[in-house]
Amino acid sequence: MSRLEVHQIPVLNDNYVYLARCRATGATGVVDPAVAEPVLAEAERLGWRITHILNTHHHGDHTGGNLEIKQATGCTIVGPKADRDRIPGIDVEVDEGDRYTMGEAEAEVFFVPGHTRGHIAYWFAESDALFCGDTLFALGCGRLFEGAPAQMWDSLSKLKRLPKTAKVYCAHEYTQANARFALSVDAANDRLKARAEEIDRLRAAGTPTVPSTLGEELATNPFLRADAPDLAAQLGLSGADPVEVFAEVRGRKDRF
Ligand code: ZN
Ligand code: FE
């Protein structure tokens, strides 16, 4: 049985905050609390006791609730070592390859810089759950605020190696806009076309498109397909290095 029970809380315009509860112990982590109030209220409603905050990076829409939640619950704040000075209230610093255990649920930490220079992701293998913040989105990836294309491609390549069944719990509902862009660079991709239609149906019904699975992303997310010859060909970059293809896709998205 999956060790984690995950509850998704939509906040602000398009952020998702997650409550991840270890079924065996009741330990509950909040992933990237943009805000405190709705998170505390939802935990209360569920009867879940918040014991941890897991931050992926320092941006305010991922850490804005840190101090208030810590004050209300006495929880432990876990965050990226490389960003220790930018994570409010950080107690435990983690880095590439570290394993952090919350209750009995173990997360492997990946250092995935690019969106920010300290970004990390949490991989709960037993639960098939990846919390990747603003590094990988459904059909997209984070803007390169503090990193270069080669670095982001390297970060995404770490995530590409996880099982296809991995659930991708990203931090924003950007999927519909991402789909429109993806179709502009990968129009020949039938699975992408079908997925884009499905996303339109889900959004029209007000249903989240997150989490997706890594398998879906590998097949349809143009940022993960920078090493796919058929995508490179559509961009006029046949034979180019994946980093060059990735940079082209990222650049086009920035101007889309
Ligand atoms: Zn961010
Ligand atoms: Fe964000």
Indicate if 144 and 192 belong to the same structural domain.
no
Residues having C-beta closer than 5 Å to ion ligand 2: 61, 134
Query: How far is ligand 2, taken at its centre, from the CA of residue 134, in Å?
Result: 5
Which of 127, 153, 170 is the last residue in one of the domains? 170
Indicate if 94 and 132 belong to the same structural domain.
yes
Ligand nearest to the CA of 33: 2
Indicate if 121 and 77 belong to the same structural domain.
yes
Indicate if 70 and 158 belong to the same structural domain.
yes
Mean pLDDT of the chain: 97
Contacts of residue 70, Cβ cutoff 8 Å, sequence gap at least 6: 53, 77, 89
Indicate if 130 and 59 belong to the same structural domain.
yes
Query: How far is ligand 1, taken at its centre, from the CA of residue 240, in Å?
Result: 29
At residue 93, the pLDDT reads: 98
Query: How far is ligand 2, taken at its centre, from the CA of residue 180, in Å?
Result: 20
Which of 103, 135, 170 is the last residue in one of the domains? 170
Based on the residue annotation, tell me whether 134 is a catalytic residue of this protein: yes
Q: Would you say 211 and 169 are in contact if contact means Cβ atoms under 8 Å apart?
A: yes
Query: How far is ligand 2, taken at its centre, from the CA of residue 47, in Å?
Result: 27
Which residue of the set 115, 119, 128, 186 is catalytic? 115
Q: Which two tokens stand for residue 186?
A: 């990968």
At residue 1, the pLDDT reads: 47
Indicate if 142 and 182 belong to the same structural domain.
no
Q: Which CATH number fits the domain that encloses residue 83?
A: 3.60.15.10
Ligand nearest to the CA of 61: 2
Which of 110, 138, 170 is the last residue in one of the domains? 170
Beta bridge partners of 136: 141
Domain hosting 193: range is 175-255
d(CA 159, CA 157): 5
Based on the residue annotation, tell me whether 61 is a catalytic residue of this protein: yes
Q: Would you say 23 and 5 are in contact if contact means Cβ atoms under 8 Å apart?
A: yes
- Where the chain has pLDDT below 70, the residues are 1-2
At residue 2, the pLDDT reads: 56
Which residue of the set 59, 83, 119, 128 is catalytic? 59
Q: What are the C-alpha distances in Å from 88 to residues 56, 102, 115?
A: 12, 20, 19
pTM of the model: 0.98
Domains: count for the chain: 2
Indicate if 149 and 242 belong to the same structural domain.
no
